[in-house]
Amino acid sequence: MLDISSSAIAHTYSTNMQTELLGDIQRIEVSGDKLVIKTAMAEAHIYIYSPTIIRVNMTKSPSAPDQSFAVIQQPSAEISYKDMPDSIEVRTSTLKLRINKSPLRFSFYTADDQLLSADDERFGTNWQGEQVITYRKLFPDEKFIGLGEKTGNLDRRGTSYVNWNTDASEHGIKTDPLYKTFPFFIGLHSSLMYGLFMDNTHKSYFDFGATTDEQMSWFGADGGDMNYYFFGAQSVTKILEDYTWLTGRMEMPPLWSLGYQQCRWSYMSAKEVLKVAQTFRKKKIPADVVYCDIDYMDNYKIFTWHPENFAEPKAMMDELKAMGFHLVTIVDPGIKVEKGYKQYDEGIKKNYFATYPNGEKYIANVWPGRCHFPDFFRGDVRDWWGKSFTALTDAGVDGFWNDMNEPAAWGQNIPSLMQFGKRPMPELRNAYGMEMARATYDGTKKILKNRRPFVLTRAAYAGTQRYSAVWTGDNSAYDAHMLLGQRLVNSLGLTGMALIGVDIGGFTGNPTPELMVRWNSLGVYTPMFRNHACIGTVYREPWQWGTKNEAIIKKDIQQRYRLLPYIYSSFYQAHQTGLPVSRTLAIDYTHDENIYHPKYQNQFLFGDAILICPTVSTDDTADVYLPKGNWYRLSTEEKFIGLQVITAEAPLTDLPVFIKASAIIPMQSVIQNTAEKGDGILELNIWNGDEPNQFVYYEDDGLSYNYEKGEFYKRVIRFDPGNKLIVLDTTEGNHPSKFTHINLILHGFGKVKTISVNNSAVKATKAGKGLSFKFENQDGEVRIQF
């Protein structure tokens, strides 16, 4: 039987496929953990992953293996359904999926029957050749957030996107696609929400009412299954928790990767690298990381060092280490075609490279000239790649930057004939960068034994957070690009990524000194704080901008180091729950219309409680939207009531940064790098407010995986204004804190009555100005009565 809609659109489709898919349900059965719905040629498989996650997989090849690069969980074994004349129903404790029988259509409801999301009644899911598209009902007030690294507004309504990982050098503020694929979005309407992750690595499409006269939204891919996970939790935080449960969360990053990172294409010799590091130390500007871009290699051959300019890498590394610096070196996927080059010879011998269908090795030109490309989709190739890093780790490198892994080649459009094993490039392209990062991470983790490697990748697919940090590629040195960068960071945070950077200062072009200063001040509040610049541009190090600007840049970098206890605890939160460190206001203030306004959409929370308003370098005031609650300007401690727009002073010395009332913000004194012991004082800032609050304070050695075996230091800090009480719970874990003393700094409080540990009074001394007290950091329960 044909449904009416198919005749209306039949002229664009192969009629057979159309009818086969959208026709009636022929058979329904429960098979193991899945519900199988059979139509003439296709099958829909329904799985329950959790009470808030249901998967729908519509496939034309039901017997093909069910594989995913992103998903690391299994469905729960239980699924049952209720059969009714026109439809069937699958239920969990929080979700209801109604499946219409004729034609086959899917609608998701809350347990109390509120419609969250539904197929467009006319068109549902269609194949057109191999391309598969699902058309959805669009609610009049529906907004969309997500998709990771995508240009455009926070609310993606009215825009259309393509996922096709691309070396988007010189991209503008509207360019699409960029480097990464995160086919996951959250829809918001009628005070409800849902998440949808289409797990498909083919070239894919998302249209949020842009091309349909606002009649529907649609998404799909050039091949493969219509395979999506539907998330029904009713808070963005919980949806992100579910999404990162499904696709994994980041491990604790090496603490040093959260310090200041100085990069350039390229520091051309060991001497130059050392000079940069020495200058930071001489000028007492804190920093942890310096980079080697492509010119450290011999003829751009991966896993080699330039014989003259980097003749003694170990000696260079020893000097860097003595100064407390880590080195990150770049690697590209392209292996130079050159007999006698180790990686080339090994790869040829073992057949590790991508081919044409006739078996010939695929060759494209990149930096080294003619290159082969490792097939990172094979376990043995990933192992081999991973082991090759000894060429770098032997010298002492522990950071690995994966570039050009879209994959990129001169000419950009790699022919679709390129194959990984039997699978054509277009099917896997969007996962290539992720699998390279995986090979890099797994390999270097093994080599470094118990030490955490730092991996940074440009191309990515959903799930990459398990292996690597990301940066947003080749941005440009102008204000609008700085603001775009912030939206990309905020949006990447909605897809499980937490360790994210942009090239501070802008990769292409030269920033004005004002832009450099401003961008650096925003970098303080960027999860990964890395200054990077293109070859041929002016040098970007903090001391290249005149003494006055250098002083501002230095002060801002110092602020970053002061905040590290708070930042590291925020990464612990990302590791535990999937909540990002840079958070679009859509996470906490989802249903507040104002935060989506183009004027305020770049604002974000850094961690739980620091609100940042990115401000262009040409303005010295900023209109800031303060959401619900009370707020303090960080620099002046002036208090503001939320739900209003204020005009804030925004000189280059003072980015508009606000602290949420009731905030708990642990800080430390300035150190020059994260390995430095410091003065042992944890500065615990509490900002008075009406709402109770709590903060999970977290420390570990910052370097090893011992935290997985209980070697961490953790304590919950509670602020309870109702009882005029601040409590530091008894500590957990087997790692001693590096702080011997606490310096409690109370903002907006009248007085303190008592401080006790395990109910006995504590000897506290007045510390500095304002209401502040210094006392010994003891493991027992600390109570501060105010």
Told to check if 265 binds ligand MIG by CB under 6 A, we report: yes
Cβ closer to ligand MIG: 458 or 575? 458
The yes-or-no answer on residue 170 being catalytic is no
Peptide bond into 103 cis (omega under 30): yes
* Residue 497 near residue 149, CB atoms below 8 Å: no
Smallest separation, CB 433 to ligand MIG (Å)? 12
Residue with tokens 């960071």: 489
Handedness of CA 733, 734, 735, 736 (dihedral sign): positive
Q: Which of 248, 281, 280, 223 is nearest to 70 (CA)?
A: 248
The yes-or-no answer on residue 295 being catalytic is no
Query: How many other C-beta atoms lie within 10 A of the C-beta of residue 708?
Result: 12
Cβ closer to ligand MIG: 206 or 454? 454
Smallest separation, CB 301 to ligand MIG (Å)? 14
* Residue 631 near residue 646, CB atoms below 8 Å: no
- Secondary element (H or E) of residue 233: none
Three-class SS state of 126: strand
Residue with tokens 């990769």: 507
Cβ closer to ligand MIG: 330 or 434? 330
Told to check if 473 binds ligand MIG by CB under 6 A, we report: yes
Sort strands 87-91 and 95-100 into parallel, antiparallel or unpaired.
antiparallel
Cβ closer to ligand MIG: 336 or 458? 458
* Residue 169 near residue 516, CB atoms below 8 Å: no
Q: Is 215 exposed, middle or buried (0-12, 13-18, 19+ CB in 10 A)?
A: middle
498-537: which residues touch ligand MIG (CB under 6 A)?
532
Smallest separation, CB 363 to ligand MIG (Å)? 18
* Residue 333 near residue 405, CB atoms below 8 Å: yes
Cβ closer to ligand MIG: 288 or 474? 474
- The CA radius of gyration of the chain, in Å to the nearest whole number, is 27
Enter the DSSP assignment of 122: T
Cβ closer to ligand MIG: 317 or 408? 408
Cβ closer to ligand MIG: 297 or 696? 297
Cβ closer to ligand MIG: 401 or 707? 401
Report the side by side order of strands in the sheet with 335-336: 335-336, 369-372, 364-366
Told to check if 294 binds ligand MIG by CB under 6 A, we report: yes
Smallest separation, CB 296 to ligand MIG (Å)? 10
Separation CA 179–CA 177 (nearest Å): 7
Catalytic residue among 43, 403, 427, 700: 403
Cβ closer to ligand MIG: 207 or 332? 332
Q: Is 571 exposed, middle or buried (0-12, 13-18, 19+ CB in 10 A)?
A: buried
Told to check if 654 binds ligand MIG by CB under 6 A, we report: no
- Long-range CB contacts for residues 65-68, cutoff 8 Å, separation at least 24: 68/199
Residue with tokens 């008894």: 730
Count of residues interacting with ligand MIG (CB under 6 A):
10
* Residue 103 near residue 3, CB atoms below 8 Å: yes
At 174, the amino acid letter reads K
Residue with tokens 């060991």: 270
Enter the DSSP assignment of 443: H
From candidates 403, 442, 479, 588, binder to ligand MIG by CB under 6 A: 403
Question: How many CA atoms are closer than 13 Å to the CA of 777, on its beta-carbon side?
Answer: 18
Separation CA 606–CA 616 (nearest Å): 18
Peptide bond into 177 cis (omega under 30): yes
Beta-bridge mates of residue 162: 205
Smallest separation, CB 161 to ligand MIG (Å)? 21
Q: Which residue is nearest to ligand MIG (CB)?
A: 265
Told to check if 406 binds ligand MIG by CB under 6 A, we report: no
Q: Which residues lie closer than 8 Å to 389 by C-beta, 6 or more apart? A: 303, 400, 440, 443, 444, 447
Q: Which of 198, 67, 180 is nearest to 125 (CA)?
A: 198
Smallest separation, CB 551 to ligand MIG (Å)? 28
Told to check if 330 binds ligand MIG by CB under 6 A, we report: yes
Cβ closer to ligand MIG: 157 or 458? 458
The yes-or-no answer on residue 214 being catalytic is no
Smallest separation, CB 310 to ligand MIG (Å)? 15
Cβ closer to ligand MIG: 293 or 701? 293
Q: Which of 375, 352, 463 is nearest to 425 (CA)?
A: 375
Handedness of CA 24, 29, 30, 32 (dihedral sign): negative
Smallest separation, CB 473 to ligand MIG (Å)? 5
Residue with tokens 């000239």: 369
Smallest separation, CB 405 to ligand MIG (Å)? 10
Catalytic residue among 474, 503, 588, 608: 474
From candidates 225, 293, 427, 608, binder to ligand MIG by CB under 6 A: 293
**What character string, x for contact with ligand MIG (CB under 6 A) and - otherwise, covers 344-363?**
--------------------
Phi-psi region of 384 (alpha: psi -120 to 50; beta: other; left: phi over 0): alpha
Smallest separation, CB 334 to ligand MIG (Å)? 11
Cβ closer to ligand MIG: 497 or 742? 497
Catalytic residue among 176, 406, 479, 550: 406
Told to check if 104 binds ligand MIG by CB under 6 A, we report: no
Cβ closer to ligand MIG: 267 or 775? 267
- Secondary element (H or E) of residue 440: helix 425-447
At 49, the amino acid letter reads Y
User: How much of the chain is helix, strand and coil, in % rounded to 5?
Assistant: 25, 30, 45
Smallest separation, CB 659 to ligand MIG (Å)? 34
Told to check if 608 binds ligand MIG by CB under 6 A, we report: no
Smallest separation, CB 311 to ligand MIG (Å)? 21
Q: State how far the alpha carbon of 235 is from the alpha carbons of 141, 148, 192, 194, 208, in Å.
A: 18, 18, 9, 9, 21
Told to check if 228 binds ligand MIG by CB under 6 A, we report: no
Told to check if 442 binds ligand MIG by CB under 6 A, we report: no
Three-class SS state of 320: helix
Smallest separation, CB 532 to ligand MIG (Å)? 6
Told to check if 474 binds ligand MIG by CB under 6 A, we report: yes
Residues at the interface with ligand MIG (CB under 6 A): 265, 293-294, 330, 403-404, 458, 473-474, 532
User: What residues are labeled active site?
Assistant: 403, 406, 474
